[in-house]
């Protein structure tokens, strides 16, 4: 009997742990690895390892595959070296390897550029014949009947399940690589497949990882609504959050359906409250809405019982000390329930990266080590109106202001009042608390988020006056 060949698929960890997405309870399975596993022939043994959940331990394999965002790339290269030393072939895919393929090829045997689905079976076949090529270029294929990721192979312990219903975004924001990596045309999975996978996901909380769940245009909107109706009809109840754009706020029916289907929070790319900055970074959707109408957008989500996680960028070219401080004030006083406050980070694959590289404005170019800092929590640029260190210091102060517990308590009560939904308020508060811990204690892993969430969502509330029961804040 011949032994099965072993494929080891690894999601590496950035050892600089800042940011909530480096924490267990916000961790999501690496879907791309699950899909590559699904496309691997049956005569392979497949193991998926995630360093974000478990300490990496060397194990033998015939072929080792890595996926990596830019902030994980350095670690992927380190792990690849362990295998190369043993003469074991390594492959790397994902967004970083796509745009830094020459760099990646110095560390792995093979790079998959673009989406891997269209080339993975060929790569495996070539490997079996001893003929694996250094580079494979994936194409943007229709997603309609793409395979289910091998959920059964994911390690245990993810806080959220992950589900994808569509890929692509027609916008072209300067700081984003989604439109170049996933394309500017929407591609859909079939609603039936999405719902089948929804039912298979073991977690009862999940992140719908779409580039834009609701999207633009009638067809996309109707599809999002069909998915929500199908979730409701399935009888399986899960809570989730997803990325959407401001145009969703004009569709009360869609927001209501999303809410009924378990959506508790939307991640909105607000970026800036200044029109001039939206224009400079080509944030067309927000310009269409108009900054003067932002509060109406937040109100619309709240009315549907959904909290708003606002993603803001700090360090845009026109940002000064004053505008950065004003952005914090804006968050504190606005209807945004929780915030993702990233520093402008020029990720490979973006126009921002190309421009900053040309202008010598990336402050640490000691690559690949420097990629460890590309976490949105380190200043990696020369800002226009201050030094790198000044910007970093300023942001440390601003994070402390925005995640001050007094602010978070007030935000929580406001979310309760506006959404009338303790679950949405729980999602928003827990997101803010994660950042609070990261900012004040330098980590968030030790925070027992699951316990906080249980406490918050089990608070007995008088929904008429929305006063949380005694003890609701004892954890703060």
Query: Which residues contribute to the site for ligand SF4 (CB under 6 A)?
Result: 169, 171-173, 176, 178-179, 211, 245, 269
Q: What is the nearest approach in angstroms of ligand SF4 to the Cβ of residue 472?
A: 34
Residue position matching structure tokens 């509060």:
295
Residue closer to ligand SF4 (CB basis): 4 or 288: 288
- The residue assigned the tokens 């300490």 is 55
Report the distance separating Cα 442 and Cα 433, nearest Å: 13
Min CB(263)–ligand SF4 separation in Å: 18
| CB closer to ligand SF4 out of 211 and 337 | 211
**161-163 sheet: strands from edge to edge:** 161-163, 205-208, 239-244, 263-271, 307-314, 338-343
Pairing, β 5-11 against β 135-137: unpaired
- Cβ burial 39-54 (10 Å sphere, 16+ → b, else e): bbeeebebebbbbbbe
HSE-CB for 213 with a 13 A CA cutoff: 28
Please say which residue, 171 or 402, places its beta carbon nearer to ligand SF4. 171
Residues 6+ apart with CB under 8 A from 458: none
Nearer to ligand SF4, 123 or 249 (CB): 249
Strand partners, 308: 266
Contact 136, 112 (CB under 8 A): yes
Tokens for 245? 């754009």
Closest approach of ligand SF4 to the CB of residue 182, in Å: 8
d(CA 344, CA 381): 8
Report d(CA 284, CA 278) in Å as an integer.
7
* Min CB(16)–ligand SF4 separation in Å: 24
- If the CB atoms of residues 342 and 383 are measured against ligand SF4, the closer one turns out to be 342
Shortest Å distance, C-beta 287 to ligand SF4: 12
Q: Which residue has the tokens 């690949």?
A: 368
Query: In this complex, which beta carbon is closest to ligand SF4, that of residue 168 or of residue 422?
Result: 168
Least gap, CB of 169 to ligand SF4 (angstroms)? 3
- By beta-carbon proximity to ligand SF4, the closer residue of 311 and 414 is 311
Contact indicator for 260, 228 with CB cutoff of 8 Å:
yes
Query: Which residues have C-beta within 8 Å of that of residue 392, sequence separation ≥ 6?
Result: 378, 379
- Tell me if the bond preceding 368 is cis, omega within 30° of 0: yes
- Quick one: 172 or 385, whose CB is closer to ligand SF4? 172
CB of 154 vs ligand SF4, minimal distance in Å: 25
Please spell the DSSP secondary structure of 199-223, one letter per residue.
HH---SEEEE--S-SS-SSHHHHHH
67, β-bridge pairs: 93
Nearer to ligand SF4, 305 or 342 (CB): 342
Least separation in angstroms between residue 284's CB and ligand SF4 is 8
Nearer to ligand SF4, 241 or 403 (CB): 241
265 with 307: CB under 8 angstroms? yes
Q: Contact at 8 Å (CB) between 157 and 46?
A: no
**Cα dist from 329 to 61, 274, 333, whole Å:** 52, 13, 6
CB of residue 349 to ligand SF4, shortest distance in Å: 11
* Minimum distance from residue 350 beta carbon to ligand SF4 (Å): 9
């Amino acid at each position: 009997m011949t032994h099965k060949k072993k494929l080891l698929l690894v999601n590496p960890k950035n050892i600089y742990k800042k940011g909530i997405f480096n924490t267990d309870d916000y961790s999501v399975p690496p879907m791309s690895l699950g899909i590559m596993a699904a496309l691997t022939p049956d005569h392979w043994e497949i193991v998926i390892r995630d360093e974000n959940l478990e300490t990496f331990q060397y194990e033998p394999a015939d072929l080792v595959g890595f996926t990596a965002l830019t902030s994980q790339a350095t670690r992927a290269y380190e792990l690849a070296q362990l295998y190369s030393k043993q003469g074991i072939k390594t492959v790397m895919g994902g967004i970083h390897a796509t745009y830094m393929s020459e760099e990646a090829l110095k560390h792995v045997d093979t790079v998959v550029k673009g989406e891997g689905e269209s080339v993975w079976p060929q790569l495996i076949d070539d490997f079996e014949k001893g003929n694996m090529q250094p580079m494979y270029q994936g194409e943007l294929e229709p997603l309609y009947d793409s395979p289910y990721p091998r959920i059964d192979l994911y390690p245990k312990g993810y806080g959220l399940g992950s589900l994808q219903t569509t890929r692509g975004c027609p916008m072209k924001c300067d700081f984003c690589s989604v439109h170049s990596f996933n394309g500017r045309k929407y591609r859909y999975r079939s609603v039936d497949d999405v719902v089948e996978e929804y039912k298979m996901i073991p977690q009862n909380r999940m992140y719908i990882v779409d580039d834009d769940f609701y999207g633009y245009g009638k067809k996309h909107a109707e599809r999002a609504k069909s998915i929500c109706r199908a979730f409701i009809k399935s009888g399986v109840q899960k809570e989730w959050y997803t990325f959407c754009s401001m145009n969703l706020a004009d569709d009360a029916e869609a927001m209501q359906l999303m809410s009924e289907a378990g959506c508790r929070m939307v991640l909105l790319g607000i970026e800036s409250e200044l029109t001039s900055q939206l224009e400079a970074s080509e944030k067309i959707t927000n310009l269409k809405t108009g900054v003067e109408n932002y509060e109406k957008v937040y109100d619309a989500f709240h009315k549907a019982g959904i909290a708003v996680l606002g993603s803001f960028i700090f360090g845009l070219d026109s940002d000064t000390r004053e505008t950065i401080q004003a952005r914090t004030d804006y968050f504190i006083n606005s209807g945004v329930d929780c915030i993702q406050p990233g520093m402008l980070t020029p990720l490979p694959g973006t126009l921002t990266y190309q421009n900053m590289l040309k202008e010598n404005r990336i402050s640490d170019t000691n690559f690949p080590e420097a990629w460890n800092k590309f976490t949105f929590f380190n200043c990696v640029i020369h800002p226009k109106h201050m030094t790198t260190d000044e910007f970093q210091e300023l942001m440390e102060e601003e994070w402390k202001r925005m995640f001050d517990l007094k602010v978070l308590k007030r935000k929580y009560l406001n979310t309760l009042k506006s959404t009338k939904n303790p679950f949405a308020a729980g999602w928003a508060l827990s997101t803010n608390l994660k950042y609070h811990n990261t900012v004040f204690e330098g980590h968030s892993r030790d925070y027992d988020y699951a316990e906080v969430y249980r406490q918050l969502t089990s608070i007995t509330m008088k929904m008429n006056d929305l006063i949380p029961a005694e003890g609701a804040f004892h954890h703060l």
